[in-house]
Structure 1
């Protein structure tokens, strides 16, 4: 069955299939760019829809449209869905092109499209120059220090003709959402983390005598006091020269949370707008604070995580390494170890990372 709607634009959104609170299964997606209204919306399309006699879709029974506001030149990106203890969809988080991160409470099971399914603006993303930062990749949601959740996401887009040459600063964010009608947050409510070093260096394995060259980044370790602040952010700039340079680095893939770390991949388009390719970085940061205190990447391939995996054997852990792939991080498990696949020259190479493979589990689906 094909689903079309005037408010469904050119969407690169990745749908989420989930069981709703009313027991029906649905595909949940953002409406994308260039819809008829030009506003940001979430579509919930029921997979068991019984089309009417004319083969059409009936609003309110076959699908729901969750609107935000009348802000134009907008569109909703990919969603993330939080499940209740029963396994039903409870909250939707998604960002829009105008830099807003939205939460939709969809816990009400009283119908197919209850009027209580309303949006709440959690955060507004703008950079230090007060320029809107579009959110197109899905966020990821993790546990907060005490109550609420940490919503982690990056900004940027790569879908329109002028996007490859856009150099405005984009950012990584970790935002505390306390649910309810908590006030809209901005970066003034967050602690700033910064890229403090970007350099190419070698990591020596003292047992094998082998050396491995990596381009790395270190970041600040500013503490986050959740009594006064509501999360953290980090601006994506090139620091090779020691001063920040805007080169259009952005996030176009959903981050992952693994063992208390949020894993971002960023993308820097090629300077040649007619050429394919570009470069990427992979970041590993504490999901709650944006800090990096322990080595996450086994950069000397010794099988352990020590100061030898840090710059010049120091105590400051490497936060990011040059990655080579533009998509989401790819992890593989082998021999009770976890590896991330990286590519600097077109060949995939496994790099050991901290953390054991997740336990296999299954659940009976009704």
Structure 2
């Protein structure tokens, strides 16, 4: 008899005597009707479950919409065949703020149609980056296209002879080589979209004032930009960032306008193109690889004020800046100011601004930040990511116009205060991937500090208030050391979020701990925490651990960095309010606890905030695959000042459980219901399973008594 495997999980057999074999779970003879019907039901249930196990993120482009609703975009993937989906929906809200998503189009089918027949060549505008000459070029061979040395990196190791040209056509969407079984057969051209989320971009709408940002008012009110086509940008593990028409209606709605193949993907992150570079995608013996696996940032910047130079004429652009996540060690930037100019591949290639690489830049998880600095003007700032050359943590300052490295600031490796805290090295990585900035005035754009967390439980703060063009930024301050009840290191793998508490104007740095990067992380029961740590006020951060600028506060007695849990108050019952005394307490933390009969709860996604309430999701995975995890989530919402629960019906633990999918997105909306403002917290879910699972849920929160002027990460929706 043959050896039983995944296809035969019972003791049943078929055949007789020497021909008796294990019965596949989905095999039943027609002579046994009851078993046949039961088998068919189980088979279809299995198929339904596989098709429904998608990852869903939720994003909208505009801060205010009418009662008719708002366009939203969800990304999905299917781990059975590693295909992806980008779906546009009309999202409306009822009088209680409950969202309803009505599908308008799906991108995968439109892309297949666009590339059909000869459309892969004539119907798509695909460009890449010439890494030698540092310029955008059409994703084609020949004159003006990919230079020969770079093109030869598409010569696969699993096809005899130089097949670079054929393979390039395969990547563009030519399916003929699939029929001949030369390259992997794709169910859809659109590859899986796992960790990348959709980035919608509509008209310019930043709150920059004319006094602080000359020329911006003209830029955003000029018809060309005020009425530009709404676009959606999304990275995929087919090796491309797709630029898609985000309109909900019309003949071009959901159509790919152009696509970008990062040049760094040709060689792959380890210099082995056929193993983890572009050449690996078509291998018939396919092993899944990540490519463009991170969410880009879209922002308006003035190219006339970059790199420390301010020219007389302003030059406002909308740029898209992103990393590759698990796909590589590079950062790219694209000019997306005017989609109407993309009429050919030559035109699209002009939108490629730069790619940035560095020996000390690791896998670019997390999102760069783009802010104004007193020293350099508009600047891209990125963390060093995971698995870089020497294991140290760095902040990179990059010119958004040219991609030139302006400055690289190294975070000092902390002294070995803990036996479990190794020195920074290639084998023991600090791993600082997720950073954030505190912008003093949103109408201005200047930031005073960059915050970043690493795998060693360090929360760093970099002072960027300096103005001297001849002096380097100081070394980052080890602002806080985050440990558990047994002094064990708590890793940080999500973005720190600075939040200002209304009324007191105190600045809190909020951050959760936990990781899900490797297979061992799936089963760890290590208890994690969520922290809210005071750092001065909205006007200035604290340089000595005290609350400055508030005359009613006295200095903190233990004002030394790094701050630790001994300086903070533990919240044990979130139904009870606290009164934080900044003379002795520099913040609070909450234990996330252990999951019942499962891995520990941990924070894997970025927190969000609204009017002094911070919300975050804790996840307990229950999968054996860190690339496609599932599990359950708890959603928390906590008032910063009182430490009390911001959820309706959250209980003493102040959380709402989600068992039908892992929560990966949380966004506060301000919904105007019949003239009354109401804060609404929406949760987008990963691995949303079952026909009744809603990819976006409303979480009931306690409504603030009034809306303040300091609004971070929220959107206003008008209904009725």
TM-score class, shorter: 0.7 to 0.9
Alignment equivalent of 1:174, drawn from 513, 516, 532: 532
2:512, 2:710 → 1: CA distance? 29
Instruction: Give the equivalent residue in structure 2 for 1:328.
Output: 665
**1:152 pairs with 485, 510, 517, which one?**
510
Hey, what's the Cα distance between the residues in 2 that align with 1:287 and 1:110? 36
Conservation of the 8 A alpha-carbon contact between 1:13 and 1:77: yes
What is the aligned counterpart of 2:451 among 93, 99, 117?
93
> How far did residue 273 of structure 1 move?
4.1
* Count of residues paired in the alignment: 306
How far has the Cα of 1:89 moved from its partner?
2.0
Q: Which residue of 2 aligns with 1:257?
A: 609
TM-score of the superposition, structure 2-length normalised?
Answer: 0.39
Give deviations 1:156-201, integer Å, cap 9, x for gaps: 122233222222111000111242143121101111113x5xxxxx
The structure whose Rg is larger is 2
C-alpha spacing 1:225/1:89, structure 2 compared with 1 (3 Å): closer
1:191-226: CA deviations, max 9, x gaps?
A: 1113x5xxxxxxxxxxxxxxxxxxxxx665454322
- Are residues 1:83 and 2:443 paired? no
Query: Which residue in the other structure is 1:67 paired with?
Result: 410
- Please state whether the residue corresponding to 1:36 is helix, strand or coil: coil
Counterpart mapping for 1:25-36 below 5 A: 25-36=378-389
Q: 2:521 aligns with which of 163, 176, 180?
A: 163
Distance change (3 Å), C-alpha of 1:176 and 1:271: same
> Structure 2 residue aligned with 1:296, among 641, 647, 651?
647
Unaligned runs of 5+ in 1: 51-56, 197-217, 298-308, 362-366
Structure with higher helix content: 2
Aligned mates of 1:149, 1:332 — CA distance in 2: 22
Cα root mean square deviation, aligned: 3.0
Contact 1:165–1:273 at 8 Å: present in 2 too? no
1:188 to 2:566 alignment: yes
State which of 330, 345, 360 in structure 2 corresponds to 1:7: 360
Report what 1:339 is aligned to: 680
Q: TM-score under structure 1 normalisation? A: 0.74
Counterpart for residue 494 of structure 2: 137
Residues of 1 paired with 2:672 and 2:506: CA distance?
A: 36
Correspondence 1:349 to 2:697: yes
| Equivalent in the alignment of 2:582 | 226
Where 1:163 maps in the other structure, the secondary structure is helix
> What SS is found at the alignment partner of 1:328?
strand
Q: Deviations over 1:253-276 (max 9, x none)?
A: 221221221111111111544763
How far did residue 23 of structure 1 move? 5.1
Moved over 6 A (4+): 356-361
- Spell out, residue by residue over 1:295-339, the C-alpha distance to the aligned partner (whole angstroms, 9 max, x if none): 633xxxxxxxxxxx476xxxx7x7210134431313445443443
| Alignment partners' CA distance in 2, 1:310 and 1:279 | 16
* Distance change (3 Å), C-alpha of 1:172 and 1:67: same
> Quick one: distance in 2 between partners of 1:310 and 1:233?
17
**Distance change in 2, residues 1:173/1:258 (3 Å):** same
User: Is the contact between residue 23 and residue 88 of structure 1 (CA under 8 Å) also seen in structure 2?
Assistant: no
Match of 1:49 in 2: 402
